[in-house]
Amino acid sequence: MNRNPVGDRAVILIDGPSGAGKSTLADAVLAAWPGPVAPTLVRLDDIYPGWGGLDAAIDHVGRLVLGARHAGRPAAWQRYDWAAAVPAEWHSVDPDRPLVIEGCGALARAHASLSDVRVWLDADDGIRKRRALARDGGGFEAHWDQWQHDWEAYRAREQPQLSAGVSLTGTPPGLGRSGGA
């Protein structure tokens, strides 16, 4: 019998730059989850309110998902409709299920104390950029410089890699294909 070493209500955060393999790693975590109840997966890519929305998504997840859950209040997040460029439907987060949050900004300092497992994932800059630009059918390319600027500002301000209990660098086996941001 497999036992879940982090608990039935564990919160796992996976952060790193665009194209590092965070979405692929999150999918692998869910597929291998040892508990009887699969975690809820929240992808920050679904929350960023546009290409300049990194900080807004960090605040959104911190207040409405992690903060609310920690305080025992109902937790929820609002999807951003990238095609229509407007906020879309709300998604509730079951407080009794494990939670995996993946994406750029997941390891903001305010989030770290509200989590059980913190993972930093990185890869070579050239590999990351190729993956990120390939996965969105060219939609990311026009926004790469702005996103990188915002990402670098976040990384300098928050130093998310220092909050990680697990750091993976390079391209771990199975993470070489294109994945999420």
pLDDT tens across 87-123, in order? 999 999 999 899 999 999 999 999 999 999 999 999 8
Query: CA dist 136 to 6, 35, 72, 155, Å?
Result: 34, 33, 37, 23
**Domain presence at residue 176:** no
User: By residue range, what is the domain housing residue 80?
Assistant: 11-169
**Mean pLDDT within 61-74:** 96
Residue 123 · residue 28 · CB < 8 Å = no
The per-residue pLDDT for 177 is 45
**Domain presence at residue 180:** no
- Taking each continuous run of H as one helix and of E as one strand, the counts in the chain are 6, 7
What pairing do the DSSP bridges indicate for beta strands 117-122 and 11-15?
Answer: parallel
**Domain presence at residue 26:** yes
The per-residue pLDDT for 178 is 42
Higher pLDDT among residues 129 and 5, named by residue: 129
**Domain presence at residue 86:** yes
**Domain presence at residue 163:** yes
**Mean pLDDT within 64-72:** 96
Residue 131 · residue 87 · CB < 8 Å = no
* CATH code assigned at 57: 3.40.50.300
The per-residue pLDDT for 43 is 98
**Domain presence at residue 48:** yes
**Domain presence at residue 3:** no
CB atoms within 10 A of CB 25: 23
Query: CA dist 76 to 66, 99, 106, Å?
Result: 9, 12, 16
- What single string gives the DSSP state of each residue in 28-60? HHHHT--SSSPPEEEEGGGT--STT-HHHHHHH
Q: Please count the structural domains in the chain.
A: 1
Residue 32 · residue 100 · CB < 8 Å = no
